[in-house]
């Protein structure tokens, strides 16, 4: 751990976690104070799961120690974001297989590229309209620059979290790499995929659709008239900085209009009928009466199921300094799930941060029993208070 004198001189810094078995980095990050050491502490004291923490536990199980490297210090926060992003881009390009969940700051628009990609990026026309039932799949982590058609296809075809109801409608898959559509596939059939949670590998010859947690497709290059609509078009202007979900179905993520004069819903599935009177204020009232907790509009975040089929919420950084409540509304099963996160809890060290908006980004699979944050694989069951059926 750093002493106070060292911390006073560090400022913002960029660091790497090194696997002593390979002498290669497996995680690049930025931070203040003792941030570089908090991952090791989390792997020992917490039960949260992530590729990064699993790697640290594996190293410890081999009776070895993670090496902590400070790459550059004495930085401003803006400088640290640039250095971190550059190192993540470089490491991914040379296939160091980092366990970082998301790419670096502004990686899509200013990150590492080959010269022809820079030319294509700045000359690509923006994609402004979807004329077919498509799914846009980001393949940044699975595709190596300069590879051929087969490599693009294999990077695009599996394995993705897609709702079974959607796959019946989707006819084409757009392969998006660094903000540019680099190929278009016509989908012939979908097949179920299951992931071995112990090593994150695909289970071969899996065919039980009821137990499938992901999907893949078989297909071929789309007809010319379809490819011409999308190929080499850019969606970089539409992408949110720090977004981790590789799947999208629409170009523009629209927020809902007010359902009542006093209630705004953060994200609304246009195909879902909501209880018009069950906005956030009404939900708070119901849960206060049911669980005798001190909920208010100011200390509570809430989410309904969004158009991608997830719960998504962005509490601001200030939440870490106070107790606050989270409400997840499953408007399909008519259940409100209530959670209480206590101030200065260790969980804040592991949540995904959107520095550009100064918020934590939380995304949950819709499940009425297990509440696992998808981006960092953190269970929120520890914060669970109860469920109200309305």
Q: Is 272 inside a domain boundary?
A: no
134 and 224 co-located in one domain:
yes
70 and 146 co-located in one domain:
no
Name which of 132, 106, 117, 236 is nearest 176 in CA terms: 236
Q: Is 267 inside a domain boundary?
A: no
140 and 235 co-located in one domain:
yes
99 and 132 co-located in one domain:
no
pLDDT tens, position by position, 126-150: 888 888 999 999 998 788 766 688 9
What is the distance, to the nearest Å, from the Cα of residue 331 to the centroid of all Cα atoms in its chain?
A: 23
Beta strands 324-330; 300-304: pairing state:
parallel
234 and 190 co-located in one domain:
yes
181 and 219 co-located in one domain:
yes
Query: End of a domain among 107, 142, 157?
Result: 107
Residue-range definition of the domain harbouring residue 318 = 280-389
Q: Is 260 inside a domain boundary?
A: no
Judged against a pLDDT cut of 90, whether residue 175 lies above it is answered with yes
131 and 224 co-located in one domain:
yes
Q: Is 261 inside a domain boundary?
A: no
pLDDT tens, position by position, 292-319: 888 998 899 999 998 788 999 999 988 9
pLDDT tens, position by position, 64-83: 999 999 999 999 988 999 99
Name which of 73, 277, 244, 247 is nearest 166 in CA terms: 247
Instruction: Tell me which of 231 and 107 has the higher pLDDT.
Output: 231
pLDDT tens, position by position, 189-200: 999 887 665 444
122 and 84 co-located in one domain:
no
Which pLDDT score, from 0 to 100, does residue 11 have?
Answer: 92
Q: Is 338 inside a domain boundary?
A: yes
The chain-wide mean pLDDT, for the chain, equals 82
CB 238 within 8 A of CB 153: no
88 and 121 co-located in one domain:
no
Query: End of a domain among 74, 107, 140?
Result: 107
Contacts 24+ apart (CB under 8 A), 296-299: 299/323, 299/324, 299/325
What CATH number is associated with residue 98?
A: 3.40.1440.10
> What percent of the chain stands above pLDDT 90?
44
134 and 235 co-located in one domain:
yes
Q: Is 271 inside a domain boundary?
A: no
Judged against a pLDDT cut of 70, whether residue 168 lies above it is answered with yes
Q: Is 77 inside a domain boundary?
A: yes
126 and 237 co-located in one domain:
yes
| Number of domains observed in the structure of the chain | 3
Which pLDDT score, from 0 to 100, does residue 61 have?
Answer: 93
Q: Is 203 inside a domain boundary?
A: yes
Rounded Cα distance between 37 and 22, Å, is 20
pLDDT tens, position by position, 18-33: 999 999 999 999 999 9
Query: End of a domain among 107, 133, 161?
Result: 107
Please provide residue 283's backbone torsions phi and psi, each rounded to the nearest 5 degrees.
-60, -40
Rounded Cα distance between 36 and 139, Å, is 29
36 and 139 co-located in one domain:
no
């Amino acid at each position: 751990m750093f002493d106070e004198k060292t911390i006073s001189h560090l400022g913002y810094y960029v660091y790497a976690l090194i696997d002593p078995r390979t002498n290669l980095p497996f995680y690049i990050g930025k931070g203040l104070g003792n941030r570089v050491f908090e991952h090791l502490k989390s792997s020992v004291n917490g039960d949260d799961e992530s590729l990064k923490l699993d790697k640290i536990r594996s190293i410890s199980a081999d009776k070895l120690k993670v090496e902590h490297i400070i790459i550059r210090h004495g930085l401003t926060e803006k400088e640290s974001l640039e250095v971190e992003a550059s190192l993540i881009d470089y490491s991914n390009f040379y296939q160091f297989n980092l366990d970082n969940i998301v790419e670096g700051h502004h990686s899509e628009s200013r990150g590492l590229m080959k010269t022809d990609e820079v030319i294509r990026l700045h000359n690509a026309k923006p994609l402004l309209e979807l004329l077919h039932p498509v799914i846009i799949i980001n393949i940044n982590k699975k595709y190596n620059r300069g590879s051929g058609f087969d490599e693009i296809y294999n990077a695009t075809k599996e394995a993705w979290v897609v709702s079974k109801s959607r796959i019946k409608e989707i006819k084409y898959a757009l392969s998006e790499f660094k903000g540019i559509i680099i190929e278009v596939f016509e989908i012939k059939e979908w097949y179920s995929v299951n992931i071995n949670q112990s090593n994150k590998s695909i289970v071969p010859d899996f065919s039980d659709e009821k137990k499938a947690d992901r999907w893949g497709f078989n297909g071929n290059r789309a007809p010319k008239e379809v490819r011409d609509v999308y190929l080499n078009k850019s969606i970089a202007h539409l992408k949110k900085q720090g977004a981790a979900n590789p799947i999208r179905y629409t170009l523009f993520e629209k927020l809902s209009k007010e359902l009542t004069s006093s209630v705004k819903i953060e994200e609304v599935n246009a195909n879902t009928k909501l209880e018009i009177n069950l906005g956030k204020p009404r939900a708070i009232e119901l849960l206060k009466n049911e669980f005798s907790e001190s909920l208010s509009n100011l200390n509570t975040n809430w989410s309904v199921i969004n158009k991608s089929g997830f719960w998504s919420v962005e509490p601001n950084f200030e939440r870490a300094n106070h107790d606050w409540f989270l409400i997840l509304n499953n408007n399909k099963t008519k259940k409100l799930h209530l959670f209480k996160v206590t101030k200065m809890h260790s969980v804040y060290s592991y949540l995904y941060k959107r520095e550009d908006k100064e918020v934590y980004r939380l995304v949950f699979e819709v499940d009425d029993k297990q509440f696992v944050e998808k981006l960092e694989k953190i269970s929120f069951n520890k914060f669970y208070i109860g469920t109200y059926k309305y």
